[in-house]
Structures are given as structure tokens and as C-alpha cells.
Amino acid sequence: MKGLEIIIVGAGIGGLSAALALARDGHHVTVIDAIERFAEVGAGIRVPPNSSRLLVDWGVDLDNIPKVVSNGNRFVDWRNKPLLEISYKDLEARYGRPYYLIHRADLVEGLLRAVHRNPLIALKTGRKVIEYDFVVLGRPGIKSQIRSVVHGADISVRDTGDVAYRILVPTQPLLNDPETRHLVEEPWATHWLGPEGHAVGYPLRGGNQYNIIIDITHRTDLGALIGDSEWAKSADNTEIVKRFQDWHPVVRKLCSLTGQYVKWKLVDLEKPLQRWVHPAGKVVLLGDACHPMMPYLAQGAAQAIEDAGTLQASIAKYDSFSDALRAYERQRAPRAEYIVRNTRVLQEWLHLYDGPAREQRDELMRHDHPSNPIFWAYSPRMDWLFGYDAGVIEEDPPSLPELPPFPPREASVYKSTL
């Protein structure tokens, strides 16, 4: 199919990526978003090879986006005891691109520059969609109203039991402290694992800022709770300083550097959507609109970008738009659902109390085996994740790696029933 007129609702990472992907094949794309202007919002985002390869193909100039190339994932416990290092030193050789640590606003700005350069894309901001006529592509994010319309029933998100603090601090205080200097000079994504929560830190913007993500259970959040009808709430560092007062001094120092910031309620869907394509065959969902996920695999944005790549390839392959959308759904849904499930697995293992289950976790983490709860530590799973080519359309659903187990139910912080 050539020269289609396509409307995309939502100018986030997924929507802008989809616009670039579809325009690449000669389609005319209009992107609509209620936002008036793009402000510098968000914090750090991890851009792995499975998504950065696509962005480069679509004309996004990653070379001129401020970023840091990640050394890999480093896991330590809440007392800073080393548990596991997963090196990314050979990622570019294996998967074609490095693993980038980027500020979300810088990535969006890079996408916008590519969009503005493309004469086939019209970006219309300050436009709120009030009705759908089923000739659009829906990427309005996790708050999507079109999700229920496409699905044919009311689909609401569920509270996962966790809240996330997303924080940026200057790196100079870290560089001035011998105990924290390595966090900036050695750009690992460091994960501190402890009872009912964990913290992640890594440098951004060429090492000028340090990104801190803190994920804890609602019941151990010492600040004002986020209400049922709320998504986020302002916070200051008094609550996390107190919350982590017994953790290693490095974690306490990171908490003390923070000022005012926003904490977010983490949600996903009660169960996977039965369909991503409206029966009319002209409306399709992508990104958070159809597979919202917790950030524990750092794949939310990457999966939205992959969605755009598969949608592009499906439309190019099939003569029928309806057939193309259903091929896209057939390929993407199993992969996204598998990743969502693995975020739940990680949530359980990362937040254990000290005890036999935590000791079991630490032992499992040492082995390149399907039972390793750390997703990237089992080589076939990492190959499946980073080596994926979203542009290859398969007639049958793609095979999935063996799923790591959940911890013993009696040790679960969440008593998950997944």
C-alpha cells in the first residue's frame, strides 16, 4: 500500500516514531496531540539496541542527542553488596547499536527535529480529540480513552502496588565525593535491591546529570499517598530520606541530593487486551495504549518504537489495510505481553526481604539459566530482547523464551496471582 492518509493521536515517543516510520514509506501522516507545546518533562530513559536501530533507520539523529553509553546493569543489595554485573561492552557488535542512557526530553526533541524535517508529516498540537471515526492510529498513552472503544468494553488500568520517584540531580556533588564518584565516571545502571523497594541510578547528558529512579511499595511510602483518581503527586526529599535511612550510605547520599520532584503510581492492565485492532479494521493501538508496563525492564518506550516498526512493515507487506493491522497485532501482542509479565516477575524478586527467598534469588542470579530472575542474565532472553527485528513479519506468533519463575508465594511482598 502506498500514499495512505493516516492520523495518529498522541505525540509521545511512540506516536512520533510511528509517524516517522510510516512517512518513510511515503504515507501522509497527521499527528494530533492536546499538548500546546513540548516542555522538558520526564527524566532518564534507557534506549536499547532493539529500538535505537529503528530510530536511526527513520532519520533520527542520535549522534547529536546528549546521551551516555551504558556499561551495563549492575545489581547490589541494599547494603551495597555486589550481586551481579551484566556487561554491555559487546552490545554494539552483537546487536548493531550501543545501549544509550538519554533524558526523555532530549529523545523527544530528536524525534521532533526528524518530524519537522519530513514534509509528509503534519504535527498539530493543542488539538483534543473528542470523537473517533475509526480511521486513526491510537497512541494516546496509558490514559487512553480509545483503548476501551477498540476493545469493545471498558478497560481500566490496575494499581501494581508500587510508586515510582523520578529524580534528576547534578553530578558535581557525586564527583566531589570519593564514595560516589564512580557512579558518574563508570556509567553503569546501578540497581540497589532491598525490602519492598529498589533504587536505580545512572548518568545522563554526557555525565552532567544523574538520574535516580526509586520504586517502592505503597505501604512503605512515607509521604502523601497518591489517590485512586490520581496519577502523580509532588514530593520532596524528606520522605525518601526517611524511607531509606537504614540503607547503605551511597543510597542515603543520593536521596539527600534530591529536592522537589514528582512521584508516580505504577499501573498496568488487569489482563492483556483481547484485541488491538477495532473490528472496522481501520483503527489500531500501539504503545502504552495497549500494553502499559512497569519500568522494571526499561522497555516501555522501546516496545512502543518496536510497535511502530512492525506497523510500518505490515502495511508495506499487505495489500489490505485491515490484514496489515491484524498481522501487526498477531506479531506484537505476544511479545508485549511476555515483557509485561516479566516486569511482574522482576517486581517480585527485586523487593524481597532478607531471608531464604532472597538468598535463593542471589544464588540464581549467578547462573546463565532460565531460572535466573534477572531477565538479561539469561543469554537467550537478552538475545530475544535486543536482537529482535521489528520489521520482519512472521505468519505465526513468534516463539518466546522460557519464563523465569516467581519467588515462593510465602515470601512474596505482593502475593501475586500472575
The C-alpha cell at 7 is 492520523
Burial of 280 (0-12, 13-18, 19+ CB in 10 A): exposed
Q: What is the pLDDT of residue 135?
A: 61
Say if residues 317 and 324 touch (Cβ distance below 8 Å): yes
Residue ranges of domains in the chain:
5-156+270-346
Residue 418: per-residue pLDDT: 45
Residue 247 corresponds to which amino acid? W
**Which range (39-53, 101-115, 139-153, 379-393) has the least confidence?**
139-153
| Single pTM value for the model | 0.93
Q: Identify residue 75 by its one-letter amino acid code.
A: F
Taking the C-alpha atoms of residue 59 and residue 66, their distance in angstroms, rounded to an integer, is 17
User: Of 332, 305, 336, 294, whose CA–CA distance to 110 is shortest?
Assistant: 305
Give the count of beta carbons closer than 10 Å to the beta carbon of residue 190: 22
Residues 6 or more apart whose Cβ sits within 8 Å of residue 172:
none
The CA distance from 347 to 197, in Å, is 9
Q: Among candidates 332, 335, 191, 351, which has minimal Cα distance to 266? A: 351
Cell of 227: 489517590
Cα 56 from Cα 60, distance rounded (Å): 5
pLDDT digits over 76-86, tens only? Answer: 999 999 999 99
Query: How many C-beta atoms surround the C-beta of residue 119 within 10 A?
Result: 8
**What does the alpha-carbon distance between residue 380 and residue 369 come to, in Å, rounded to a whole number?**
9
CB atoms within 10 A of CB 394: 11
Which residues, in sequence order, are CB contacts of 413 under 8 Å at separation 6+?
161, 195, 196, 217, 348, 351, 352, 353
3-state secondary structure of 30: strand
Q: Per-residue b/e over 340-358, b at no fewer than 16 CB within 10 Å?
A: bbbbbbbbbbbbbeeeebb
Give 137's pLDDT tier (boundaries 50, 70, 90).
Answer: low
Give percent of the chain above pLDDT 70.
92
Measured CA distances, 89 to 99, 187, 188, 386 (Å): 9, 12, 11, 14
Q: pLDDT tens digits for 353-372?
A: 999 999 999 999 999 999 99
User: What's the rounded mean pLDDT across residues 345-350?
Assistant: 97
Portion of the chain with pLDDT greater than 90, in percent: 74
Q: Provide the grid cell at 356.
A: 531464604
Lowest mean pLDDT segment, chosen from 19-23, 56-60, 91-95, 151-155:
151-155
Tens of pLDDT, residue by residue over 194-234, are 999 999 999 999 999 999 999 999 999 988 888 877 888 88
- CA of 88: how far to CAs of 97, 187, 240, 339, in Å? 11, 11, 30, 20
- Cell numbers for 389: 527485528
| Residue whose C-alpha cell reads 537504614 in the numeric block | 246
Q: Which CATH number fits domain 5-156+270-346: 3.40.50.300, 3.50.50.60, 3.40.50.920, 3.30.465.10?
A: 3.50.50.60
Cα 284 to Cα 160: distance, rounded to the nearest angstrom: 26
Q: Which three cell numbers stand for residue 383?
A: 538475545
Give the HSE-up count for residue 149: Cα atoms under 13 Å, Cβ half-sphere.
20
